[in-house]
């Protein structure tokens, strides 16, 4: 699948800096920012509200197909609004109870296929940057530029813990470590669209790099083409 307009795709595990870097790059280059992980979080939130068991695959598939998801992004401010069936759930999808069930939902083949359709629709006719766990391998394998961001496990745990603390989400660092370890295991071993580095993706270890350093490098690579 060849995008009609230049697409930048970023993959990597939790805490590697994907979201932060994608937002920074989107602002500086005027790209439309698509947070693919937010879409799976929306489904996890809806399942929680409907008292659906995330392991009830048929019910989750039916729910996903009957769900309207949309993103509003303002490149001037860097603000992303995530809408679930028309409702702004930007803050609601970031709770720890969502994190605990999102990987179970995200590993369902039919759910991922549905989300890929939505992600491609959102990018259609736009200069966009997407970040997630299969954007370079499944969603846009022919992206203009591909990146795989990574970091040492301890660094990723610390980043995610500080992020949740900033959002005033009550959670201890050991719990964050367990969540990330579980997500890493589920994301890398799921049968459909597992997390992996695309052969032509530019690998960046962000462990010892600042946000500005990573952003500058990504933009420099994009501007080479």
DSSP 10-32: EE--TTSSHHHHHHHHHHHHTPE
Q: Using a CB cutoff of 8 Å and minimum separation of 24, what contacts does 78-83 make?
A: 78/23, 78/24, 78/26, 78/27, 80/23, 80/33, 80/35, 80/38, 82/35, 82/38, 82/39, 82/41, 82/42
What is the pLDDT, as a whole number, of residue 90?
95
CA nearest neighbour of 124 among 3, 9, 30: 3
What is the pLDDT, as a whole number, of residue 2?
46
What is the pLDDT, as a whole number, of residue 95?
84
CA nearest neighbour of 131 among 9, 21, 220, 24: 9
Block mean pLDDT (10 aa), the chain, length 225: 72 92 95 95 97 96 97 89 97 88 92 96 94 94 96 93 84 89 84 87 96 97 86
Domains present along the chain, CATH in parentheses = 7-224 (3.40.50.300)
What does pTM read for this prediction? 0.88
CB count, 10 Å around CB of 61? 17
What is the pLDDT, as a whole number, of residue 225?
65
How far apart CA 29 and CA 224 sit, in angstroms, is: 14
Backbone angles phi, psi at 187, to 5 degrees: -65, -35
CA nearest neighbour of 31 among 46, 40, 21, 41: 21
What is the pLDDT, as a whole number, of residue 190?
79
């Amino acid at each position: 699948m060849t995008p009609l307009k230049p697409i930048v795709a970023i993959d990597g595990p939790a805490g590697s800096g994907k979201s932060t870097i994608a937002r920074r790059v989107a602002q500086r280059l005027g790209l439309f920012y698509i947070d693919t992980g937010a879409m799976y979080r929306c489904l996890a939130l809806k399942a929680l509200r409907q008292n659906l068991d995330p392991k009830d695959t048929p019910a989750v598939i039916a729910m996903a197909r009957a769900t309207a998801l949309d993103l509003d992004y303002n490149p001037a401010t860097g603000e992303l609004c995530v809408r679930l069936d028309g409702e702004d759930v930007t803050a609601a999808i970031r709770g720890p109870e969502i994190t605990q069930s999102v990987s179970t939902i995200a590993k369902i083949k039919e759910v991922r296929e549905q989300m890929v359709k939505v992600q491609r629709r959102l990018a259609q006719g736009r200069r966009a940057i997407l970040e997630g766990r299969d954007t370079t391998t499944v969603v846009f394998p022919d992206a203009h530029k591909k990146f795989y961001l990574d970091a040492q496990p301890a660094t990723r745990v610390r980043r995610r813990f500080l992020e949740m603390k900033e959002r005033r989400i009550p959670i201890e660092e050991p719990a964050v470590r367990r969540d990330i370890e579980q997500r890493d295991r589920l994301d890398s071993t799921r049968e459909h669209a597992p997390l992996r580095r695309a052969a032509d993706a530019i690998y960046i270890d962000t462990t010892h790099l600042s946000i500005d350093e990573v952003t500058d490098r990504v933009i420099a690579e994009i501007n080479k083409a």
